[in-house]
Amino acid sequence: MTMTPENSANGRDHPVETDGFDVAAAERNQRMVIGSKTKFSNGAFMSVSGKEKTLILPEMWFVVAMFLTLWGWEYWRENDEGKWELIDARMGRVSDKSFKRLKKSPGTVPESQWPINPNSGKPEDPWKPTRRMVLMETGGATLHTFVTSTWSGCAGVDDLIADFTKARKDHSNKYPVVQLSAANKQSITTGDSFKAPCFKIVSWEDKKDLDAALGGQELVVEGKEPVPQQQVAVAQEQSSPKPLSAEDYSKASGGGLHPKKRGPDGDMDDDLPFASEFR
């Protein structure tokens, strides 16, 4: 079967879909979360499975599937039953050169329709900057997907991407091994100290074990009610959101400007809540 550049990601090939059977097989391997969801909450990393939470100890190391890392924006909304649903997303692989990286909110929701942030009492753009990254525990095949929708969390993933980019030429056909930790940061607005997720590269490992554990699974994020592209410009004209500039983003990355949100499980969560029906 022939391969094309757009079906290769960081050295991993993906066969061209030729008929309905290929499409069905590809969709079966698409997941919003591979393995357990992992989040950074109250200064610590937690693995979440249903209502169960497991603390990830600082001495634990993880291999990172860099080619699967997703970068972009997600729009979640609470429905009438009190469940959170992913309405729309603008997510793409960091390794995909054709993916358009939006530094600002897609702006598809008029400001008059913004939900009220329970912490600030002010309307807030429902589009959140988001990163999704697949990890595997070293010495085993247990998979996790780290998900964050805060500026400081996204900055932690972006720092890892930068470190990986600088060193990958010296470590061909290998994935970075990282140690998860909490870095001390200080808010540029209040001066308060807070914890932010940090991913320090401590080693490198051959790709084959993680690729085998993944078994062809892919991270894919698709909303239930995606906004048609032709409506985006109209919505942007009708609203007047004030997304952070590139300079503000740089400051916010270390300043924790994005408020924490209380998730459906009641804790102060760094990440947006997730719909129960994700695969």
Please write the tens of the pLDDT for every residue from 145-180.
999 999 899 999 999 999 999 999 999 999 999 999
Q: How far apart, in whole angstroms, are the C-alpha atoms of residue 150 and residue 158?
A: 12
Nearest-angstrom CA–CA distance, 78 and 115: 10
In this model, does residue 101 exceed pLDDT 90?
no
- Give residue 278's pLDDT band: very low, low, confident or very high (50, 70, 90): very low
End-to-end C-alpha distance for the chain, whole angstroms: 29
pLDDT of residue 197: 94
Residue 270 pLDDT more than 90?
Answer: no
Check: CB of residue 221 under 8 Å from CB of residue 86: yes
Choose among 144, 141, 146: nearest CA to 160: 146
Assess if residue 201 is contained within a domain: yes
pLDDT reported for residue 222: 80
Compute the average pLDDT of residues 122-146.
93
Q: In terms of C-beta density within 10 A (0-12 exposed, 13-18 middle, 19 or more buried), how is residue 279 classed?
A: exposed
Position 38 pLDDT exceeds 70 = yes
The predicted structure's pLDDT at residue 17: 52
Q: Would you say residue 245 has pLDDT above 80?
A: no
Domain range for residue 264?
Answer: 8-269
Q: Is the confidence at residue 113, as pLDDT, over 60? A: yes
Look at 6 and 133; give whichever has higher pLDDT: 133
Alpha helices in 183-228 (DSSP H): 207-214
Q: Is the pLDDT of residue 4 over 50?
A: no
- Quick check: 185 pLDDT over 90? no
Q: What is the mean pLDDT of residues 247-261?
A: 40
Percent of the chain with pLDDT strictly greater than 90: 41
Domain contains 279: no
Average pLDDT over residues 19-30: 52
Q: Are 201 and 83 in contact (CB under 8 A)?
A: no
Q: What is the pLDDT of residue 228?
A: 53
205: exposed, middle or buried (Cβ count in 10 Å: 0-12, 13-18, 19+): middle
* pLDDT of 120: 83
Question: Is the residue at 79 inside a domain?
Answer: yes
> Lowest mean pLDDT: which of 74-88, 157-171, 195-209?
74-88
Indicate whether 7 pLDDT > 90.
no
Beta-carbon count within 10 A of 175 CB: 27
Per-range mean pLDDT, top range of 15-24, 43-52, 67-76, 184-193: 67-76
Residues in the chain: 279
- Residue 221 included in any domain: yes
Do the domain assignments include residue 47?
A: yes
Q: How sure is the predictor about 118, in pLDDT bands with cuts at 50, 70 and 90?
A: confident
Residue 221 per-residue DSSP state: -
Asked whether residue 274 is assigned to any structural domain, the reply reads no
Cα 197 from Cα 180, distance rounded (Å): 7
Calpha distance 109→227 (Å, rounded)? 9
Sign, Cα dihedral of 146, 91, 96, 3: positive
The 3-state DSSP class for residue 172 equals coil
Which has more pLDDT, 10 or 55? 55
Report the DSSP beta bridge partners of residue 48.
Answer: 37, 53
Q: What is the mean pLDDT of residues 174-195?
A: 88
CA distance 257 to 100: 25
Residue 235 has pLDDT above 70, yes or no: no
Residues 196-209, mean pLDDT to the nearest whole number: 95
CB 244 within 8 A of CB 256: no
Helix (H) / strand (E) containing 48: strand 44-49
User: What's the mean per-residue pLDDT of the chain?
Assistant: 76
pLDDT bucket at 227, cuts 50 / 70 / 90: low
Environment class of residue 233 by beta-carbon count within 10 Å: exposed (0-12), middle (13-18) or buried (19+)?
Answer: exposed
Total domains present in the chain: 1
Name the 3-class secondary structure at 77: strand
